Chain A
Amino acid sequence: KAGVTQTPRYLIKTRGQQVTLSCSPISGHRSVSWYQQTPGQGLQFLFEYFSETQRNKGNFPGRFSGRQFSNSRSEMNVSTLELGDSALYLCASSLDMGDRLHGYTFGSGTRLTVV
C-alpha cells in the first residue's frame, strides 16, 4: 500500500514569489492535514481538509491556503513568500476526520527554502 506522497521533495523560491505543494494521501484516506516544521517553532498545524472542505485552521496568516480535490489529493499554497517560510512542510492523511487514536500517516515532506 503506497504511503503519503508529497511533491516536490525540495524547492527553492525567491522572496515575494508563490509556491504550491502537493500531497497524495494513502488510498482510501479522506482527511488530509498540513504541518510546518521549523527549528524554532517545531511542528505546527496549518489546516485539515475533509470532503474538499477546510475543517480547521491553525494560527497562520492568510498567505497560507489549501484545497482538497474530489480524489482526496490536496495542495497547499503560500503566496508572497517570506524568508521565515523556509521550512519542512509535512502532509498527513487519516482514514477519517480527526482520527486521533489511530494517528495520522505523514509523508516525507517538502523542504522549501526561500532566498
Chain B
Amino acid sequence: DQQVKQNSPSLSVQEGRISILNCDYTNSMFDYFLWYKKYPAEGPTFLISISSIKDKNEDGRFTVFLNKSAKHLSLHIVPSQPGDSAVYFCAATPYSGGGADGLTFGKGTHLIIQP
C-alpha cells in the first residue's frame, strides 16, 4: 500500500512557465514533507521541506504548499528553467520525538522543461 503517491509519472512544461508537481499521502502520522530532485546517475538532491504546522514554505523559485485536510502537497517552480528537467520525488516522515524514522518516498514525477 503506497503511503505517498505521485500520480503523474511525467509532466512537460514550457520554459518560463510555472511547473506544479503534486503529491498525495495517506498516513496521517506524517509530520514532515520533503521534495528531492534527481538527475540520472546521481543521488537525490534535497530541494525544500515543510512541517505540518505550516501550509507554505518558499525558497527562491521553489514553493511547497501543504493542505493537511486533503493530505495533499504540491511543489511550484516559477519560472521553470531547462536545468529543472529531472525526476522529482516527494517524501514524508512522521515526528517521533528523539527517534529516527526513514523517509517514505513517492515514485517520482519526471519533469521535462521544453525550450
| Interface Cβ pair total, 8 Å cutoff | 72
Knowing A4-B43, A42-B107 touch, does A101 contact B102 (C-beta < 8 A)? no
Q: Is B80 an interface residue (CB 8 A)?
A: no
- A45 and B43 in contact, given A101-B32, A103-B49 (Cβ under 8 angstroms): no
The total of chain A residues at the interface (CB under 8 A) is 29
A100 and B32 contact, CB distance less than 8 A: yes
Whole-angstrom distance between the alpha carbons of A104 and B102 in the complex? 10
Closest A residue by C-beta to B89: A43
Which residue of chain A has its CB nearest to the CB of B49? A101
- Residues of B in contact, count (CB < 8 Å): 28
Set of chain A residues within 8 Å of B89, measured between Cβ atoms: 43
By secondary structure, the A interface counts as: strand
User: Are B100 and A42 in contact, CB atoms less than 8 angstroms apart?
Assistant: no
Report Cα–Cα, A107/B95, bound state, in Å.
24
Is the CB–CB distance between B43 and A109 below 8 Å?
Answer: yes
Complex contacts, B44 vs chain A, CB 8 Å = 43, 90, 106
Chain A residues whose CB sits within 8 angstroms of the CB of B105 once the complex forms:
35, 42-44
- Let me know if B101 and A56 touch, CB within 8 A: yes
Interfacial residues, chain A to chain B (CB-CB below 8 A): 4, 31, 33, 35, 42-48, 50, 55-56, 58, 90, 92, 97-98, 100-109
> 4 closest pairs, A vs B, by CB?
A45-B102, A103-B46, A106-B43, A43-B105
